[in-house]
Structure 1
Amino acid sequence: MAFIITSEISEGIAKLTLSGSLDSSSASLMQVEIQKVATQAPSALVLYISELEFMSSAGLRMLIFAKQKLGTSVQIYIVQPQGQIVDTLQMTGIIHSVHIVDNYPAQ
């Protein structure tokens, strides 16, 4: 499945919706969106990824890039990740740098 990413900033919150496969061929698209939202100095980054079917190591690098680009004070929320993506985040330890949530804002 092709990778699709959309972004918006609302009330200082950057929201990216990802679907398809985030791999080495599509990571550059995410990098561009992260750079774009970083110019707005958001207070949080919310990744809606319920439709993201696959994330390779290139996708993990984009999470690290986002954390570095936005700064340590910006919290990253990952909304409704599929099980295999959560497993990957746990195995790599990146899960300790993000918040996994069912909804944003948490209800």
Structure 2
Amino acid sequence: MSFQYDFSQLDGATAVRLSGRLDSATASGFEKPLQDLFNQPASRVLMDFSALDYISSAGLRVVLMAAKRAKQSQGALVLCSLQQQVRDVFEISGFLRILDVADDSSAALNQLRART
């Protein structure tokens, strides 16, 4: 299965919907478009993982770099709707302790709203 992503606007935030596999073969092509979302200060980004089936360490690195970029630009990044197998990877890596994660997009939007 391949990796796909799309951007849309959702209640003042940019929603990034991921699907497929975010791994070493696909992560590099996704990194720049994701980083570019934080070119404007105070950008708010919601990453929806509901259709992402797999994430590797390369994918984790892309997400971590986006979180760092968000912080540098006084923006916000919230992940949501992680499937159990993807959540397990985030848990094992310790990323759930350092990233903002919500159960669903509604909760993620509430977290983003609270930061403005």
Percent of aligned positions with the same letter in both sequences? 27
Task: Find out whether 1:62 has 2:62 as its counterpart.
Answer: yes
Structure 2's unaligned 5+ residue stretches are 111-116
Normalized per residue, the structure richer in helix is 2
Paired letter, 2:89 = T
Question: What TM-score does the superposition give when structure 1 sets the normalisation length?
Answer: 0.84
Aligned residues: 107
Q: Distance in 2 between matches of 1:94 and 1:22?
A: 16
Q: Distance in 2 between matches of 1:15 and 1:53?
A: 18
- The Cα shift of 1:13 comes to 1.9
Alignment of 1:17-96 (within 5 A): 17-71=17-71, 73-96=74-97
Identify which range, 91-100 or 16-25, moves more after superposition. 91-100
Structure 1's unaligned 5+ residue stretches are none
Paired letter, 1:20 = G
Paired letter, 1:58 = A
SS, match of residue 25 in structure 1: coil
Runs of 4+ in structure 1 over 4 Å off = 9-12
